Amino acid sequence: MGINVQLRSEQGDIIVEVNDPKMVLARAAGNALSGTRLLRYLVPWGDAVFNQAQAADLAEDIRAVKSSKPGTPLCDLLSEIEHLVEKLSHETRLYLWFGQTVAHQRQPPAKSIKPWLKEFGGCPC
Query: What are the backbone angles phi and psi of residue 76, rounded to the nearest 5°?
Result: -60, -45
pTM across the whole model: 0.80
Tens of pLDDT along the chain (125 residues) come to: 799 999 999 999 999 999 999 999 999 998 999 999 999 999 999 999 999 999 999 999 999 999 999 999 999 999 999 999 999 999 999 999 999 864 334 455 555 666 655 665 555 54
Q: Can you spell out the DSSP letters for 69-123?
A: STTSHHHHHHHHHHHHHHHHHH-TTEEEEEEPPPTTS--PPPBPHHHHHHHHT--
How much is the pLDDT for 1?
Answer: 77
88 CA to centre of own chain: 10
| Rounded-to-integer distance, Cα 19 and Cα 4, Å | 5
Measured CA to CA in angstroms, residue 111 lies from 26, 79, 86, 102, 107 at distances of: 23, 18, 17, 17, 12
CA distance 113 to 44: 22
Output the pLDDT for position 122: 58
- Residue 116: predicted pLDDT: 55
For residues 122 and 24, give the distance between their C-alpha atoms in angstroms, rounded to a whole number. Answer: 22
